[in-house]
Amino acid sequence: MTVYKEVEPQRTIIGKLDFEGDLIGQLNDIAGKNNILLGKVEAIGAVKKARIGYYDQNTFEYQFMNIDEHLEITSLIGNISIRDDKPFVHAHINLADENGVAYGGHLAEGTIVFACEFIMTEYTGPEFVRALDEQTRLPLWKI
């Protein structure tokens, strides 16, 4: 059954991430420092190398791919909710190499920033807390 709640935009934070910092780590730090418990994140830019994941629905495990080359961030989109009692950014990313070959998947630690501009929008509304979903074995929202 589809479950949803109405939320309202509250504030927006716009900035750039540190050169050679971990992309998802920095986004999580910003969400935590600003106590954003519900929101969305978008970003564009470039990375020096990437680590992205694919969730195997048969084994219920992430398979990770390391791409050790310079790539453009053609799109990064994600959400912010609560996991383990703190703000948590869950993001997917699309990347392109110098020939326009695209890679995409779950953004993982180990993706290193060359340049990245982000927009983080906070929402007010009910809590969206992540907990283990028995059917998918993923930490999904319990709403």
Task: Convert the pLDDT of each residue in 66-75 to its tens digit.
Answer: 999 999 999 9
Q: Which tokens go with 52?
A: 């992205």
C-alpha atoms less than 13 angstroms from C-alpha of 31 in its C-beta half-sphere: 32
Residue 43: its pLDDT value, please? 98
Identify any residues that bridge with 15 across adjacent strands, giving them in sequence order: 118
CATH of 9-128, one of 3.30.1330.80, 3.30.572.10, 3.90.100.10, 3.40.30.10: 3.30.1330.80
The model carries a pTM of 0.96
Using DSSP's 3-state secondary structure scheme, residue 32 falls into helix
d(CA 42, CA 44): 7
Domain ranges of the chain: 9-128
Task: Convert the pLDDT of each residue in 41-50 to its tens digit.
Answer: 999 999 999 9
